[in-house]
A and B are shown apart, each in its own frame.
Chain A
Amino acid sequence: MADPNADQKKDFEKDEQRATRPSCESSPEFCGRTSGQGKEEKYHEESKQWIERLTVTPVGPIPVVRTKLGRQDILGKVKVRFGIGRMSYKIKPGLYAVGNPGPGSPVLVSANYKLSFDTLRSKLAGLDAWILVLDTKGINVWCAAGKGTFGTEELVYRIEDSALNRVVSHRTVILPQLGAPGVAAHEVARQTRFKVIYGPVRAADINNFLTAGMKATPEMRLVKFGLKDRFVLTALELANPFKYLVVATAVLWILSLLGLHLFSWKGWYPYLGAILIGAFLVPVLLPWIPGRAFAWKGWLLGILWAAWANIHHGLVPLTPSSWQPALVYFLLLPAISAFLAMGFTGSSTYTSLSGVLKEMRYAVPAILASASIGIVFLAIVFIRAL
């Protein structure tokens, strides 16, 4: 009898190569970056800014970290949000402490991306706990779990390397739930005798989780993607296209100084708008824009924007002389916003690899076609204007 799932299975096997090396998202929230290999690791300076003092333990002095973020911590956070120095924002892996922990205090496991670590410690005011920081190469928990650096092997190694069994009398480590894609709890238990308990998704819930006897409510288990999350993430979405936009503007401006008048604010602002739509407006308005595919949402707002720009430029209603420049906007603007909106899939917390692959199968050829024809007409319009 034919297996009805045979095709799917085949796809599944074909992609197995990919499957054995899962990795991470492009969002700053969930992502950092691997450093150069073989080089001496450079970690964030262990300053009084974030380390309060040292505490003596059976395995030696352990840094006690502050639960209140300092000015430099906040400045660092803002910088990495805009993609500045994000790949080297990491702390030394190993054991840390908050408050006055003893042998019975809980052990919280975290990543060595300083942004993740700072978020965690800032939510631990009033608690006595150990923090075991894994070497995730400066990548946040979720992303690192996808890559496997926040993984079974590293956790087992770090538990042994820090001699955790001599620091605490219990045999439990609390992991952030989002570390679960990288860690097999039963394997860790087998290899180290430490039981893995998955804590809440958000560090803000840790206090309640511990008070409830290490029980997470269903609410604590859910990943969300609210307006504020999306708004914060647009900073990085905007930072990259704007780099190119600044370069393009500079080039066109210099050309116009040389007498080649390609640059005018009126001709240029529709492109700026298309970038803002794809990288900012679509992410922020995401759930309210009709449709499911990100590229579609970007195209939809992009085509409306193109219509508005054409009306504003007096190109619509179309005339024999206006249809070509109008077509340039109709083809280029939605392509730009669709492409940038599609990129936000990586920042979202609900798209799957299969879903994005399917979306891209249709969106990428459509965007390429629209953009290419648009560029051809743009060239025609320019040549005619010369």
Chain B
Amino acid sequence: MREHRHLRNVATLAYNPNLCTGCGMCAEVCPHAVFSIQDKKARVGDRDLCMECGACAKNCPFAAISVRPGVGCAWAILISEIKGREAPTCGCPE
């Protein structure tokens, strides 16, 4: 299977290794294997694979990770722009 890739250098993922205890939760929840644990510390691999789902930040008990979570969905973004200040949400047209 060919690997999918969207734009480069856009992810808001930020990680502070000083706060990391190497518990491994981030590596467990990331659906794109951005994190790995090496020498009892989390390590960020390919940031361009991050889809900003926010699972790592939410599940880090030591707040070592931050990311602006959101929907990578053009419809949702368009609808939220049209409706005003509302955050992009699931705008599934029915």
Contact = CB atoms under 8 A, between A and B. Distances in A.
Contacts of A180: 29, 53, 55, 58-59
A221 B93 CA distance: 30
Interface residues of B, number: 49
Interface string A266-304: 000000000000000000001110001110000000000
Contacts of B61: 186
Contact of B49 (A177, A221, A288, A350): A350
A289 to B, nearest CB: 11
B40 interface: no
Contacts of B5: 292, 350
B51 A343 contact: no
A147 B89 contact: yes
A16 B57 CA distance: 14
Interface stretch (A19-27, A103-111, A324-332): A19-27
A239 to B, nearest CB: 9
Interface in B50-90: 50-55, 58-59, 61, 66, 68-78, 85, 87-90
Interface in B27-62: 28-33, 49-55, 58-59, 61
Interface stretch (A49-57, A166-174, A310-318, A351-359): A351-359
A154 B49 CA distance: 29
B72 A353 contact: yes
B72 A352 contact: yes
Contacts of A146: 53-54, 69-71, 90
Nearest to B30: A221
Nearest to A218: B33
A101 interface: no
Interface stretch (A120-128, A157-165, A223-231, A374-382): A223-231
B12 interface: yes
Interface string A339-361: 00011011011111111111110
B4 A350 contact: yes
Nearest to A185: B59
B94 A351 contact: no
Nearest to A85: B94
30 contacts: A15-B68, A16-B68, A17-B85, A21-B87, A22-B54, A22-B70, A23-B90, A25-B71, A27-B92, A32-B92, A139-B90, A145-B55, A146-B70, A147-B90, A180-B29, A181-B53, A292-B7, A343-B75, A345-B73, A348-B72, A349-B31, A350-B5, A350-B72, A351-B51, A352-B12, A353-B69, A353-B71, A354-B68, A356-B77, A360-B78
Interface of B: 1-8, 10-12, 25, 28-33, 49-55, 58-59, 61, 66, 68-78, 85, 87-94
Leading 6 A-B pairs by shortest Cβ distance = A346-B73, A353-B70, A351-B72, A180-B55, A23-B89, A180-B29
